């Protein structure tokens, strides 16, 4: 199984974005650079997944994700947004918590397990995440909540 440590490698607190497109571009570029992945491949993979349907899961949370050819580990980025953004959520609520999850195309089962774990843990810690006012506070809010799947 590919590495599945779900503690986000990047934390962004109150990220100043104003649209779904801007969120995806910003987060994909950051996680690609952090994981030494091709920025275009990451963005295209995430956008292809979004075309299948919104990755918003309700309660102001979105979980954009994709599998990436050549990735050797699960890469994650957690962001809270300065202003909630429409994300075509099933409950109609705008999104203010976004966690991007990239997995290896060689570990589909591990990727799906990671998504399930992240979804449950984000819902459980959403109130703490929303009150964080810095990356350090965001780290404290997720420490102990987002652990290996």
Enzyme catalytic residues: 65
- Exposed, middle or buried, 127 (CB in 10 Å: 0-12/13-18/19+)? exposed
Cβ contact 49:66 at 8 Å: yes
Cβ contact 41:69 at 8 Å: yes
For β-strands 56-58 and 61-62, DSSP reports them as antiparallel
């Amino acid at each position: 199984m590919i590495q599945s440590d779900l503690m986000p490698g990047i934390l962004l607190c109150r990220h100043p974005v104003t649209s779904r497109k801007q969120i995806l571009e910003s987060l994909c570029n950051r996680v690609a650079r952090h994981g030494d992945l091709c920025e275009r491949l990451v963005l295209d993979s995430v956008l292809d997944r979004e075309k299948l349907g919104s990755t918003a899961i309700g309660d102001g949370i979105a979980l954009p994700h994709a599998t990436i050819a050549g990735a050797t580990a699960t890469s994650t980025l957690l962001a809270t947004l300065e202003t909630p953004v429409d994300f075509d959520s099933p409950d109609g609520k705008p999104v203010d918590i976004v966690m991007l999850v990239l997995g290896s195309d060689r570990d589909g089962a591990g990727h799906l397990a990671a998504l399930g774990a992240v979804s449950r843990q984000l819902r459980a810690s959403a109130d703490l995440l929303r009150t964080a006012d810095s990356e350090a506070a965001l780290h404290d809010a997720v420490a102990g909540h987002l652990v290996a799947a």
